[in-house]
Chains A and B, each alone.
Chain A
Amino acid sequence: MSNLMSQSTAVIVMNIRSLPRRLWMSLAMVFASAVVVAILLAFLAMAKGFEATMQSAGSDDVAFFMRTGSAAELNSSASREQVNLIENAPGILKDEQGPLVSPELYVIVDGVKKSTQQEANIPLRGLSQRGVDMRNGFTLTAGRMFTPGTDELIVGAGILREFDGFDLGQEIRFGKYTWKVVGVFSTGGNVFESELWADAKVIQNLYNRGSSYQTVRARIGSSDDLTAINEYLESEPRLTHEVQTESAYFATQGKSLEYMAIFGWVISSIMALGALAGALNTMYTSVSDRSMEIATLRAIGFSSLSAFIGTMVEAMTLAVIGSLVGALAAFIFFDGMNASTLGGSFTQVVFSFQLTSELFIQGITLALIIGFVSGFFPAWRAARVPVIVAFQSAR
């Protein structure tokens, strides 16, 4: 056993040292694995970043009410009367000014993307100070809060970064109305930073909403309170709403880019097939390049298993080096890269690519598969190199 170890170690060392003879082919294999892994990681990081942007927005102790059947905030509605009924639901926390409830409006306005200079949808959220207080991690990074009852708005850091015309103090026109940017806010990178916030009453007015809202958020003790709230919703015929925690809502929204991850796997698997073809060629060349050495070692008494292991390790090493290069490239070029895409409400969500160690492991796993398959068949051939090759004079 220790014997097989020392044989294999020696063969591996020799294989690695003979790599310069096959430098360009080996580099091509490293490069191909690197490209495949980088592309996979780019897609995964995109999906991951989007998911994180969504998920981190939701709180477990905020109950989120939408009209039954509306997939996103945009499609929901709630009349003043319904909001009042929700305020009376069990389990909702109160302070001296009454229940901690935030009825909100969600309308869409146009903005111009800095990157493409094209118009894209931005959500303009109408809320009150109560609603602002419900957002964890909310901070004004510049300027001040909008004054209720005025045409002032505050802009999310993501919008400021990705769109033109939202600088502090600037006036901006949506349709017939002009707004003034008086503040910039951050919510720690989550999806709320892709929004504009203004006073709900002013939006009701300008957008002819009368006294109605779209969604309602309410502070609860814990997600256990949802059961009682659900019973209340069912027993109250005037309420046509369903409730979930805010985090559950955003978790669902976050899955909407999951297809990107799937797409990434499909694309990179197809590319992996190409890389595999090249890698197989590299490894077969390696075996024929080393056949004299393999046969000589076999004549000396080395086992065919050591020839197999040596070739496998060479293939895996090249593929893993490639995957590390690819992962590094993905990290340098994509990690933290800002992007915006259409979210569930047909508005732009500004997010950044996120490479996690879990994704790195997926990338390296793909490379290991390439290495294994491209190594296996040539390694099989290496194990079968006839010993008499060592005596053949034709070189």
Chain B
Amino acid sequence: MSNQNLFELNQVAKRFTKGKETISIFQDLNMQIKDGDFLAIMGPSGSGKTTLLNLLGGVDQPTEGQITFDGQRIDNLSESQLAKWRANNIGFIFQFYNLMPMLNAARNVELPLLLTNLSRSERQKQVKIALELVGLSDRADHMPSEMSGGQQQRVAIARAVVSDPKFLLCDEPTGDLDRQTADEILQTLQLLNEKFGKTIVMVTHDPSAAKFAKQTVHLNKGEFVKAEELSA
């Protein structure tokens, strides 16, 4: 694990235009995320956490400024280049798991591998490893509707890591779970960060979830603030 910057945001601005109205979310935002970091982003609702995550994940593009990942600009990539980039570098973990309800756990986990040139048996091998990692080997053929929220989120984590991306993005990964289940999920993320070197950015409302991260930043009205200022 080097101490290099994996992500660099340089003078990033993000505005949404709705009709004649323009809402500015970020202005002159600068940020670095180090390789191997586990960063929690907190902040009130509407402060731009998800918007920031979307920019990092190449799901949305900045209005101004540059975003580099591993030394490569991603803010000027085309829609289809971004899709490829996401497939190669990013694993997403969503608040509501976003599993495909008509596919069993193994098939859900396999999805990112369909974008690779791996053979069927190689894919199955990887899926098995990923499910083992999240402790769900015995649920491979269960449908999402047959699993608890925590189990579904584990499947989602397995799906996020199955193609071995460097970077995991989690938007309120425990927002829909009870305390104990949430802690289990967070321990899994911690394991992925510490043992497998995944760089993780996690958005959360929950201070005790943020404690699992290596560091926490607070976002307020589109700017990073110190925790003390926020509570004031």
Contacts and interface: CB of A to CB of B under 8 A. Distances in A.
A3 B117 CA distance: 7
Contacts of A395: 96
Given A300-B111, A388-B59, A391-B59, A292 B103 contact: no
Nearest to A11: B114
B212 interface: no
Contact of B80 (A300, A303, A388): A303
Contact of A7 (B50, B54, B95, B115): B115
A10 B101 contact: no
A300 B96 contact: no
B87 A300 contact: yes
B59 A387 contact: yes
Interface in A349-395: 387-388, 390-391, 393, 395
Contacts of B172: 393
A84 interface: no
B83 A18 contact: no
B149 interface: no
Contact of A301 (B50, B84, B96, B103): B84
Contact of A391 (B54, B87, B115): B54
Contact of A299 (B59, B84, B101): B59
Given A299-B59, A301-B86, A393 B95 contact: yes
Q: Which of B53, B92, B95, B114 has the most CB of A within 10 A?
A: B114
Given A299-B86, A302-B83, A395-B96, A10 B60 contact: no
Contacts of A300: 86-87, 92, 111-112, 115, 159
Interface string B91-120: 010111010111100000001101111000
A299 B57 contact: yes
Contacts of B100: 14, 293, 296-297
Interface string A6-46: 11001000100110000000000000000000000000000
Contacts of A3: 114-117
A388 B60 contact: yes
A304 B82 CA distance: 11
A308 B191 CA distance: 38
Contact of A390 (B79, B98, B111): B98
A117 interface: no
A115 interface: no
Interface in A69-110: none
A391 B53 CA distance: 10
Interface in B24-70: 50, 53-54, 57, 59-60
Contacts of A7: 114-115
B52 to A, nearest CB: 11
B164 to A, nearest CB: 13
A2 interface: yes
Given A300-B87, A391-B59, A391-B94, A14 B114 contact: no
Contacts of A298: 83
A4 to B, nearest CB: 10
Contacts of A302: 83, 111, 114-115
Nearest to A18: B102
A2 B50 CA distance: 34
Interface in A291-332: 292-293, 296-304
A300 B87 CA distance: 6
Contacts of B111: 10, 297, 300, 302
A2 B96 contact: no
Contacts of B75: none
B86 A390 contact: no
B117 A391 contact: no
A313 to B, nearest CB: 15
A303 B84 CA distance: 8
B171 interface: yes
A301 B115 contact: yes
A2 B84 CA distance: 15
B68 to A, nearest CB: 20
A44 B40 CA distance: 69
B94 to A, nearest CB: 6
Contacts of B94: 296, 390-391
Contacts of B54: 387-388, 391
Interface string A274-298: 0000000000000000001100111
26 contacts: A3-B114, A3-B115, A3-B117, A10-B111, A14-B103, A18-B101, A18-B102, A296-B92, A297-B100, A298-B83, A299-B57, A299-B59, A299-B86, A300-B86, A301-B86, A301-B87, A301-B88, A301-B115, A302-B83, A302-B115, A304-B79, A387-B54, A390-B94, A391-B95, A393-B172, A395-B96
Given A3-B115, A299-B86, 18 more contacts: A2-B117, A3-B114, A6-B115, A10-B111, A14-B100, A14-B102, A296-B100, A297-B111, A301-B83, A301-B86, A302-B83, A302-B115, A304-B83, A388-B50, A390-B98, A391-B53, A391-B95, A395-B96
Across the A-B interface, give the 4 residue pairs with the lowest CB-CB distance, nearest first.
A301-B87, A17-B102, A296-B98, A387-B59
